[in-house]
Structures are given as structure tokens and as C-alpha cells.
Amino acid sequence: MNKNDRMAMMAELPIPQVLVRMSLPMMISFFIQAMYNIVDSMFVARISENALTAVSLAFPMQQIVTAIAVGTATGVSAVWARYMGMGERDKAAAAIRTMTGMSLLFTLVFVALGVFASGPLYRYQTDAQEIAEMGSVYLMINWAFSCGSIFGKYYERLLVSAGRATLSMASMASGAVFNLVFDPLLIFGIGPFPALGIAGAAWATVGGQIFAAVVAIVLNRRYNEPVRHEMLRPALHPHAAADILRVGLPSIITMGLSSLTSFFINQILLAYSTTATAVYGVWMKLQNFCYMPTFGLNNGMVPILSYNYGTGRVDRVREAMRLAIFASAALMCALAVLFECIPGAILTMFSAGEQMRAIGMVCLRTCVISLPFGAVSMIRSTSMQALDHSRYALVINLLRQCVLLIGCFALISALTHSQTWIWFAVPVTEIVTFAVSGVLGARFKRDLGV
């Protein structure tokens, strides 16, 4: 299939077929990526519960990198696909060059944060010296070597936007395999490798991200002809940067606020015990794993929506959104039922002791109720971002990732002082957000005429 055919398939193939082609490889890639995050925590849990707590406390701050990487990558994906659909190749090329320049700037910022901010952040969160020492090392490595995550997300999205979702899957999977192989080798010192403990987990993570980014660069250079000569030429075109951020900023803000939210929730849970914080960290990893099909649908759907909206095919826009919502909700219902049945087995994988098991069983069985509601809200929000209704997406994401979630945790904790009831904050937040996204979704469709 030549490049014109790959772009044209988004306007010509039946929507179910093109959505599967664009999304399925991404789903598989995200599943693999989420799996190695879970496996990473499983290996760390074998060191000690304090090590698992340290990684759990680092997760919100790691997500800041992910927020910026995913948000801007989503922005350039939508902008590039839209301009290609409109035949404005100069503007599409400017977006590519600008994204490369922005990625370099983001990398420099996180190098500075890793060196100077990781230690103080941990000492602020906890008085437990062992947790603070292990966590600051883990976070410093992840932040200082975040270039792999930032550039990897960017170049993977370019492959998806060009109809090369399978190659994007190969890139992401390569990083996941790297991490899975080197995690136990570097943590426990197997064979010729040194036993680095929690630092080994961090080195395996950033090594996998950098390896995946290199693979994505090579694949773009070889197979993505429309961006081949632009992707390694950094620039900062103000109009292109504004276009990218107009689409991606809601994701950056809301995912960044999600990190801040997790930080505050961890402080609430630390008032009960460090074990409760470790359990919440397990839930966050499990939640990310469950949402991988939705993330895949989102990433596959964005170029389809943008390209067809750019070419005036509103009927295909409507069908793609409807199908993505239905598929995501059905998958999340199935996963929710599955994980309701096996919370004990999940906690066993994290070397849970008696106290962690008691808290975790209640947490997981309560929180999985939220999955179908959250998935639909995410699909609606991403559709709004891709089609210039970022203000609606921002409202949904602020409620879901920040305002309601912190408010529910704080309120339930204040009213009940109970580790049993506090976990209901998660499903309550998602159900309310689901209702709000339905109202805004109706306005969004009227605005677009879909």
C-alpha cells in the first residue's frame, strides 16, 4: 500500500475495518506496555513493601512526563492528519519540525527536575528514610532520562497517523520486551549484571523507552515518507506550536492534574498507612492496564476523525465515534467482571502480606466498578479534542482526573475515617463524570452537525 492509499483508507474503507486496522495494533502495544509496568512493580515488590511504596509514590510524578509526551503527540497527530487531509503539506511539515523542537525542550526540563527536585519531593511526602532514599533514586533516573518516553510517544503517533499502526506497535513492543528482560537482571543481579535493586528497575524502564524511541525513529525514516525529511529538523513555528497545543493542551493539563491528584490522594492515604498507599499504587497500575483498549481506540480514532472531518465526511466521523464508544464500553465491562472475580490472585502477584491483602481486596473490588464509565468519558473527551472542542474535553478531564476525585476521597475520608469506604471515591467520580460527558457530548454533536 503506497502512502496515498494509506491516507485514503481513512476516507474510503468501512469505518469498522479502518478503526480495527488503526486501533488493534495500538491496543496490543499498550497492553504490552502496561504489562511491563505491572511486572516492574511485581519485581520491585519482591525487594520489600517499602520499595513498592516508593515506586507507588513516584508514579504520579512519572505521569507528568507521560502527560506532556502523550498530549503533544496527540496534538501533532491530529494536526498533521488534518492538514494532510486538506492538502496543506507545508503546514503539516511545519507541525512535524515544531514537535521535534518542543520535544527537545521538554527533555531538558526533565533532566533539570530529575537532578534537583526528586530528593526534595520525596522528603516532603514521607518521613520514612528508606522509602525516601529508594524513591528519590528511582524518580531521578526516570526524569533525567525521560527523552525515550517523550520522543518515543511522538514518533509512534506519527506512524499511526500515516496508517502505519502495526509499525507503531512494533516500536512500543520492542521497548516493553527490553524492560521485561532487563528488569530482573538489573534488580536482582542475575549473571554478569550488578544487583541494583530499585535503581535497576528504573534503568530497565528508561532503557526500554530509549530503545523503543530509536526503533520508532528508524521506522519513520524508512516507511513514513511524508515526514522522513522533516522529523529530525527541529524548529519552533509559533502557529504550528499553537495548533499542536490547542489539541494537546487539555490532555497535558488533565494528565498533569491527574499526577497532582494522585499526589494529594497519596497524602490522604498515608494518614491511614503506607500499605494503603502501596495498594493504591497497585490499583493505578491495574487501572492503566485495563484502560489500554480505550487508549488504543483513542489513538486509532484521532487521525480517522481528523482526516474525515478535514475532508468533510461528517457521516464517517459520527460512525467512528459511536463505534469506539460501544467497543470500549463492552471491553471494560468484560474486564470489570473478570477482575471482580480475581482480586486475591492479583494481590498475590505483588507479594502482598496479610495487611496489604485485606486492604487490597476491598480496594480492587470497589474500584473496578468505575471502568466502563471512565472508558466512555475518555472516548468522548478525545473526540472533542480531535475536533476543536477542547474546552468541553477540558471540563470532562478536570472533573474526572482532579476536582471530583480529590473531593470524593477527601469527603469520604472525613465522613467515615474508613479504609473500606474511601475506595468508593473512584466509582462515584467516574459515574458523575460519565453523566456530565453525556450532556457535553450532545452539545458537541450539535455544534459539528453529527
> In the 3-class helix/strand/coil scheme, how is 385-432 assigned residue by residue?
HHCCCHHHHHHHHHHHHHHHHHHHHHHHHHHHCCCCCHHHHHHHHHHH
Task: Quote the pLDDT of residue 450.
Answer: 64
Alpha-carbon dihedral sign for residues 93, 98, 99, 101 = positive
CA pair distance 252, 239, nearest whole angstrom: 19
* Residue ranges for the chain with pLDDT beneath 50: 1-2
Q: Smallest Cα–Cα separation from 313: which of 99, 11, 92, 48?
A: 11
Task: Quote the pLDDT of residue 2.
Answer: 47
Domain tally, the chain: 1
**Which three cell numbers mark 319?**
460512525
**Which three cell numbers mark 186?**
538489573
CA pair distance 315, 442, nearest whole angstrom: 16
Count, residues in the chain: 450
Given its phi and psi angles, is residue 189 left (phi above 0), alpha (psi -120 to 50 degrees) or beta? left
**Which three cell numbers mark 269?**
492515604
Distance of CA 148 to the CA centre of its chain: 15
CA pair distance 40, 149, nearest whole angstrom: 16
Contact 264, 57 (CB under 8 A): no
Q: What residue numbers bound the domain in which 139 lies? A: 3-448
